[in-house]
Structure formats: C-alpha cells, structure tokens
Amino acid sequence: MTRAQMKQRKRDETVTRLEGLVLPKGADWATELRQAALARLLEMGLPTKRDEYWKWTDPTSLTAAVPVKAELFEGNETPFFNAIDRLKIVFVDGVFDASASDDLSGEGIEITTLSQALSADIHWAKDAYGVLELAGQTPVERPLAAMNTAFATDGVVIRVTGKVTKPVSLIYKHENEISDAILHNLVKLDEGAEFTLLENGPAAARFNKVLEVDIADGASFHHIRAQGRDHERRAATHIFTRLGKESLFKSFTMTANGILTRNEVVIELTGDDAQAHVGGVCMGDGEFLHDDTVFITHDAERCESRQVFKKVLRNGATGVFQGKILVKDGAQKTDGYQISQSLLLDGDSQFLAKPELEIYADDVVCSHGSTTGAIDEEALFYMKSRGIPATEATDLLTLAFLAEAIEEIAREDIADDVMQRLEAWLARRKG
C-alpha cells in the first residue's frame, strides 16, 4: 500500500468511527472552533498501531467506537488530596456535578465550566480554546487531542489574575462501567499570576482529556495529578502549555494502575528564562501499560526544562517513555535535563524508551539518560544481612528508586501523601 493509500484508509476508518458523534452545541464561534478541530482530525485520521508515535502503545481501545467495560473500583482508599484546603470541582463519568462541587468563585480567579464558556456570545475562550492544541500538532500529529477539542462535552475554564493560594481540585469520579468521557480544561494565567491545579480520579471507563495552559510572563503554574489505583480504566490525556518570560510550569503525575494510560505533554518555552518541569511515577502491576510521551520545545534563551520519570513494573506490566527536547536555533543557554528509569521487579515486565534530543543552537547544555534495571542484589543482601526481610528491603529500595521523581513535587504535604500511598501500594501487594 502506498503512503497516500494508507492515509486514505486511515481517514476512511476515522469517518466510520466518528459516525453518529455530534459536535456539542454552543455559541457560533465555539462551533467554528470545534469544526476546525474536526477538520484537522479528519485530515490526520485517528492513530493506529502502524503509526511510529504509537508503536509501543496500541491505541485501538482508545479509538474504538465503544469503550471497553471497566469494573468500578471498590477499594476503600482515602481520596487523594483529602487533607488539603482546596476548591473542589466534581465530574462524574465526565458530567459536571454542581451539587458535589464547591462554589466556583475565588479571589484572583474566574472559573466556569467549559460548556458555559463555549455557550457565551463573548468569552476570552474564543481566542484560546484549541489554540495550544493546534500549535502542538506540529511537528507531531496528536489526533486524539484534536478529537477532544471537537467533541469535549465539558471541563473547566479558569482564568487566574492574581496569586491564588487555594488550589483548584478536579475530581473525576467513575460510576458507570461503560462511560466514555471527553473533557477539555482551559487555563490562562495572567502576568505574575500563581495557581495550583490538582486532578485525581479514574474519570470513566475511557477518558480523553486535554489541558491547555497558557502561562504569561512571570506567572507560575503547579499541577499535580493522581490517577486512580487498581482501576481498569483507559485514558489518553494531553497537556499543552506555552510559557512566557520568567514563568514556571511544574507538573507531576502519579499513576498506580489503570489498564492503559497515555499521557502526552507538549511544552513550548517561548519567553526567555522560563522553567518547565514535568515528572511522574507510575507503579504497574499485571495488565497495565503506562506511556509518558513528552515533547519540549525551547524557543527562547536561558530556559530550563526538566523531565524526571520513574516506573516500577511487575507481573507483566509495560512502561513506555518517549521524550524529546527540541532546541531551536537561537535558544542559547538552554538547560535541558531528561531522565527516564524503570525498575523491573520481575522478568515478565518491560520498559520501552525513546529519548531524543534535537538541537539547533550551539551554546546549550542538554543531558538525557534512560535505564532499566532490577533491584540491586548487593544492596538487597546488605539489608537482609542486617535483619531486614527481603520484601521489606525490596520496598525500601523501590521507594528509594522513586524518591528522585517525588522530589519534583514542590508542596511537601502532597509529596508526603504520594509517598504514603506508594508505601500502601507496595504493602498491599504482599498478601
């Protein structure tokens, strides 16, 4: 089959898949934006396993007409971020639950739901919705994100004008075994603004989520998300962010199970002296695939980017990392760091990694490393010889392995919470 024929086949498959899906109603400008997204989706076609960018993560269950059933998780786990003073916004299987949510108002911040914002005749979202997603479609196509912009039923639209200390917490509940949710969150930080966004919960049997974050000069955005434990859900998420001068973007993700997770992060450093840190830990056990796909573009001087991803895998779990740093011509004094490591607790699990650097400036420091390893036998014996049983010693070494990534979390209370959950995850598996 020729390239053109393959492309055509992909388009035909996409048309078939989208049959019966209707664009959500809204203001005329919103419909136009959705139609434009749909047009680029049809042009690209939905991803298949034949695509280079998806060679390690089979997207079939993400693109199929109906989601695979996901059993509800009945575990008695305390919800994440419970002890933190935050403004809660709840979605159940992708549907906004006003009664379970807090009042959407606060000092220095404007919050609305996406469906409201896109229904208003005049809203700043008109110039923002799908803009970063569109920018993120080159040089690599991200059709699931375009699909999201076209079909997202809801989400939050947040504008931060000041230094907001109380985090906004998006809670995604899953109560229907065959739910299929598409949510799109849009965040805009004005100059000098500060904001923390928390996200947790499995959301749905199948979840397609996009987060667009536009960070103006001198603004700081902190993002921490925890994707549920022992859950069968499948998720494809995208973060698109653009950073202005001297701004900060910091995102951390913890994933403990879920059958399939593809987290793409697309970062563009467009203002000088900006910093972008993205990291995460995942613990996979059994039928589990976790894919971190990151693309960072340095397009300004003296910016720093940091990627720290750690994965612990066992019982046949798979970890994927595709991370790229692109340093454009003129992005002098770039400091790029990327590390992706996995700890395989048995011989059945695997880690697939593709770290990439593409550099067009001549005065930069970029380093990357990727390792796969088992528990250090020397360390294990040393600990056992001191009386620490093998399981406990393995747990300590596993947590030690994850520690570098957890240090990426700026808030100590959240870092402690993450650490405690990892300990609990390890302890429970012994039984």
List residues near another protein by CB under 8 A.
376-379, 381-390, 392, 396-397, 399-401, 403-404
CB 236, min distance to another protein, A? 32
* Count of C-beta atoms within a 10 Å radius of residue 430: 9
CB 105, min distance to another protein, A? 43
Q: For the chain, give the number of residues.
A: 431
The residue among 15 and 390 lying less far from another protein, judged by its C-beta, is: 390
The residue among 401 and 425 lying less far from another protein, judged by its C-beta, is: 401
**Cα–Cα distance for residue pair 428/422, rounded to 1 Å:** 10
The residue among 70 and 422 lying less far from another protein, judged by its C-beta, is: 422
Contacting residues for 332 by C-beta, under 8 A, at least 6 apart: 301, 302, 361, 362, 363, 364
CB 339 within 8 A of CB 307: yes
Both tokens of residue 224? 């921490």
Report the first-to-last Cα separation within the chain, whole angstroms.
52
CB 398, min distance to another protein, A? 10
Closest CA to 125 of 171, 157, 161: 157
Closest CA to 26 of 157, 108, 126, 109: 126
The residue among 318 and 398 lying less far from another protein, judged by its C-beta, is: 398
CB 348, min distance to another protein, A? 21
CB 382, min distance to another protein, A? 4
The residue among 222 and 421 lying less far from another protein, judged by its C-beta, is: 421
Contacting residues for 36 by C-beta, under 8 A, at least 6 apart: 130, 134
**Cα–Cα distance for residue pair 218/243, rounded to 1 Å:** 9
The residue among 356 and 407 lying less far from another protein, judged by its C-beta, is: 407
**Cα–Cα distance for residue pair 271/247, rounded to 1 Å:** 8
The residue among 309 and 401 lying less far from another protein, judged by its C-beta, is: 401
**Cα–Cα distance for residue pair 168/194, rounded to 1 Å:** 12
The residue among 120 and 403 lying less far from another protein, judged by its C-beta, is: 403
Measured CA to CA in angstroms, residue 136 lies from 114, 327, 360, 367 at distances of 20, 15, 19, 23
CB 361 within 8 A of CB 334: yes
CB 375, min distance to another protein, A? 11
The residue among 148 and 398 lying less far from another protein, judged by its C-beta, is: 398
CB 404, min distance to another protein, A? 7
CB 318 within 8 A of CB 288: yes
The residue among 52 and 378 lying less far from another protein, judged by its C-beta, is: 378
CB 403, min distance to another protein, A? 5
CB 281, min distance to another protein, A? 13
**Cα–Cα distance for residue pair 175/195, rounded to 1 Å:** 30
Measured CA to CA in angstroms, residue 184 lies from 93, 96, 118, 230 at distances of 14, 12, 11, 25
Instruction: Give the SS3 label for residue 20.
Output: coil
Contacting residues for 189 by C-beta, under 8 A, at least 6 apart: 160, 195, 213, 214, 215, 216, 219, 220, 221, 247
The residue among 174 and 311 lying less far from another protein, judged by its C-beta, is: 311
Residues β-bridged to residue 111: 158
CB 386, min distance to another protein, A? 4
Instruction: Give the SS3 label for residue 37.
Output: helix
Pairing of strands 220-227, 248-256: parallel
CB 311, min distance to another protein, A? 15
